[in-house]
Amino acid sequence: MEAFLIKALQLILALALLVTIHEFGHYIFARMFGMRVDRFYLFFNPWFSLLKYYPDKGKLQLIAWTTRPKGPDGKPDENADEVPHALLSFNVRKHAAFKKNGKPSWAATLYGIGWLPLGGYCSIAGMIDETNNGKDLAKEPEPWEFRAKKPFPRLMVMLAGVIFNFVLAIIIYIGIAWYWGDRVIPYENATEGMDYIAQMHDIGLRDGDRILAVNGKAADATDSRQMWDMVQDGSVITVARKTAAGVIDTVSVNVPEGFLAKIADTKTPLMTYRVPVVVLKPVHGEPAEKAGMRAGDRIIAVAGKPTPSMTEFFPALTAAAGHTVPVTVERDGKEATMDVAVNSDGKIGVRLEVDPNNLFEVKEVDYSLWQAIPKGITDGTDRLVTYVSSLKLLFSKTGAQSVGGFGAIGDMFPEKWDWFKFWNLTAFLSVILAFMNILPIPALDGGHAMFTLWEIVTRRKPSEKVLEYAQMAGMAFLFLLLIYANLNDIYRFFLK
């Protein structure tokens, strides 16, 4: 129970930060362009709010809700003003809602905290979104409304949340590098060597080679300059290579002329650490658990084929898809073999330890603030590229089944409070939130931006009816996706 509460608290704290920063991006850009922001909310508030602050009325309310007066037919009158109620109410200093020049001030906004930690919202006057619809926009637009502004300011307001989330991720990664430094795996500690891209194979390197030296100088994983030297014309890369008989040979590879030009457009790292296949956690009810596999087991063979790293492991599973095969694991220094059923997708139901920093001995690297800035920018962009590349898996049957909701996200946090892991995960979630919101789906920021770009290109503004129906369709789609993702969590937790 304690572990669950710690995970839940970390999730709520991360969401609170990410949602606040995202919505603040919309808020500050709307204010910059002279738009009035009606409401700014952290978390959703169906039926009631935990807190409401009316600067223009001088009211601060705790556990607050509203009702509408009933009309002659005994039903709530939709045209009547809402009547505020609160369990506790305090009178505070009043502030003018409009400046002397007639522009709205910060005090024109109702600030609140909801009780449902699934998101938040920034309701901008004159904008069709989840808080407004066509009925709210029947009258002529005021100069401080969203719809009264030119396309470029509206586009920037829509993109601001995404921009702020990505910048937040960069800032967090900079802070992590500055405060904690970095954890680098020395090449000599990489027991399984490295995996290389095709161009590196072409010059004579093989997967599994462990770098010993570059141009006669001992290899140093902390020296970024050495990576540059490694790809220069005429460089000599010395590696340790394991032969088929298990003997370690020392091999020298000469970098040919023009090699740098061949890798100039490469977007992926030239080499990555080969990660041993170590079970982090067998999935409950899946074949691996049923066969007796445990956390900490290292899978060293599948159907008789050696799997020293994940590079060999996944093809071995794919080849065994639909069959029950012997799987050999190393446990407490001893080998054990068990028969495991591999499903038709080549899966056995295990979560693997994929972070080489948790598998090999690492070296701590300190960064000054100025060194941490480029490091943080690189980390943020790398996480974005990695995440976008992984999305193609969602369009497979297995990928769709792996989609998770808030339970899956919460389970990513450690069971014991760890600020380093918390900030790393929060930064990654900020990258995900930025990318997901820029997708051209109505009801998301990307959907609003798409319609605004259409207006800029065609010089024709979509009708408010089109925007309203698109908003409804987008909200329905996102709601169904949210239900599906969280039902997946429930299914995995209770039924598998």
One DSSP character per residue, 307-375 reads: -SSHHHHHHHHHHTTTSEEEEEEEETTEEEEEEEE--TTS---EEE---GGGTS--EEE---HHHHHHH
pLDDT at residue number 135: 56
pLDDT at residue number 340: 95
Distance CA 165, CA 391 (A): 19
pLDDT at residue number 136: 58
| Mean pLDDT across the chain | 86
pLDDT at residue number 170: 95
pLDDT at residue number 447: 84
pLDDT at residue number 61: 95
pLDDT at residue number 131: 62
Top pLDDT among 448 and 377 is at 377
pLDDT at residue number 161: 93
pLDDT band with cut points at 50, 70 and 90 for residue 389: low
Identify the helix (H) or strand (E) that includes residue 469.
helix 464-490
CA dihedral of residues 408, 269, 314, 387 (deg, nearest 10): 20
By C-alpha distance, which of 104, 147, 141, 149 is closest to 129?
A: 147
pTM for the full predicted model? 0.69
CA atoms within 13 A on the CB side of 347: 13
pLDDT tens-digit series, residues 81-139 = 778 889 999 999 999 999 888 889 999 999 999 999 888 999 999 887 666 655 556 67
pLDDT tens-digit series, residues 294-326 = 999 999 999 999 999 999 999 999 999 999 999
Q: Is the pLDDT of residue 222 over 80?
A: no
pLDDT at residue number 322: 92
Q: Is the pLDDT of residue 167 over 90?
A: yes
Which two structure tokens, joined as six digits, stand for 74? 């005994």
Q: Is the pLDDT of residue 201 over 90?
A: yes
CB neighbours (10 Å) of residue 40? Answer: 22
pLDDT at residue number 476: 82
pLDDT band with cut points at 50, 70 and 90 for residue 390: low
Top pLDDT among 166 and 467 is at 166
Rounded average pLDDT over 18-31: 95
Contact partners, residue 134, CB within 8 Å, separation at least 6: 128, 464, 465, 468
pLDDT at residue number 138: 63
pLDDT at residue number 394: 59
pLDDT at residue number 338: 95
pLDDT at residue number 398: 56
Top pLDDT among 69 and 295 is at 295
Q: Is the pLDDT of residue 369 over 80?
A: yes
pLDDT at residue number 206: 93
pLDDT at residue number 365: 84
Q: Is the pLDDT of residue 213 over 80?
A: yes
pLDDT band with cut points at 50, 70 and 90 for residue 262: confident
pLDDT tens-digit series, residues 32-54 = 999 999 999 999 999 999 999 99
Q: Are 300 and 308 in contact (CB under 8 A)?
A: yes
Q: Is the pLDDT of residue 372 over 80?
A: yes
